[in-house]
Amino acid sequence: MADDARITVDGIGGLFVSSQDPVRLTEWYERHLGVLHPPSSYGGQVWHQEAGPTVVAVFPDGPEPDHIGPSGWGINFRVADLDRLVAQLRADGVEVSVNPETYPNGRFASLRDPDGNPVELWQPAP
């Protein structure tokens, strides 16, 4: 089969993590980031992400970069208004660090979920 005829995936269908308190972590993601909890039935409502660029980066084992946690994973969410979401998170008592630099691909902020997993927020450049 020629390389140009290869089938590829269309997007991310789920992210699966473990937690000592999965209910608390699920509720945190829904309350603070709007990521709906998994439905209890196949007909239930699920979170839909906006179409856009997604990077899958694999790093070597060893000391983790800031956006990779000790569990070996980290997530980056695209946001439309970084400043507004950061203000909302801070009002809820969530510690957020905004990167002061604006990169060619946009702006970033970092935080940790209740389990200490890294969460990065990214507002793409216009």
pTM: 0.85
Q: If you search the block for the tokens 């089938």, which residue do you land on?
A: 7
Q: According to the model, what pLDDT value does residue 63 have?
A: 67
Architecture of domain 3-124: Roll (3.10)
pLDDT < 70 stretches in the chain? 1-3, 63-65
Give the β-pairing of 96-98 and 75-78: unpaired
Domain boundaries, the chain: 3-124
In tens, the pLDDT along 52-64 reads: 888 888 888 776 6
In the chain the beta strands, taken as DSSP E runs, fall at 75-78, 96-98, 106-112, 118-124
The pLDDT value given to residue 2: 58
Provide the pLDDT for residue 59: 80
